[in-house]
Structure 1
């Protein structure tokens, strides 16, 4: 019997595909935003400092007990992961622009609109946890 391993992107997609809650409009972008970070990490243009920030955002997805753990909150627990992801994507955009990011984007919709919606909506939900999350990852 052969074991089948799933890509983490597939695990995220499976975890979120049935979510129909209040935040579905932006939580659905989580797997594609994660994939975007992994693709950008492979780009030779990205400097060491951005690589470290991208790696921190990717790692935050897999930490089992982060600030809002998925094991406790279900799909709602991905909101902090998405926040960290778009926080770092905004830094990448400042350095290279959206044209660079769009080369790696496999999601649906206009990337800039997706990033802005995810950032704004996650901040609405996270309220005062923003600093705690950024500190946990080492981004501030």
Structure 2
């Protein structure tokens, strides 16, 4: 019997595809941001950013983070989305948004900015500090 394993990206999409709540407009970007982070590791991204990108990917996968999905459902992805947008902005500061767009989509800059702005409206300063401290930033 052959077993097929799902990619974590597919699991994210599956977890969020039926979500129709208050934060739907940007929580739906979670899987895309995860994929961009993963794809950056297969690019010529600056060596100094690889560890931070890997930490952001690991944060998605960690079952118990600052706002765990098991407890809060889709709302639990807001911290993951914030961290992703924060790290992707770090990449853009070094390489520019065009670099990220080449491996993603032309509208990635708008998506990153929207996700950061909306997550910052929801998260407290204490939560933001905890999220960044969790991965050592």
TM-score range normalised by the length of the shorter chain: over 0.9
Mapping 1:1-140, distance limit 5 Å: 1-43=1-43, 45-106=44-105, 110-128=107-125, 129-139=127-137
Name the CA distance, whole Å, in 1 between partners of 2:61 and 2:107: 26
Per-residue deviation at 1:63?
0.5
Deviations 1:18-47 (A, max 9, x none): 00001000000000110001011111x222
Unaligned runs of 5+ in 2: none
Q: Deviations over 1:109-140 (max 9, x none)?
A: 7211111110011111112210111001111x
- Between Structure 1 and Structure 2, how many residues are aligned? 136
**Stretches (4+) displaced over 4 A:** none
TM-score (norm 2): 0.95
Q: Give the SS at the match of 1:20.
A: coil
- Residues 38-57 of structure 1 show CA distances to partners (whole Å, capped at 9, x for unaligned) of 011111x2222200000000
Q: Under a length normalisation based on structure 1, what TM-score does the superposition of the two structures give?
A: 0.93
Q: Counterparts of 1:118 and 1:103 in 2: how far apart (Å)?
A: 19
Aligned to 1:39, what secondary structure does the other structure show?
helix
Unaligned runs of 5+ in 1: none
Q: Tell me, in whole angstroms, the C-alpha distance in 2 between the residues paired with 1:110 and 1:54.
A: 20
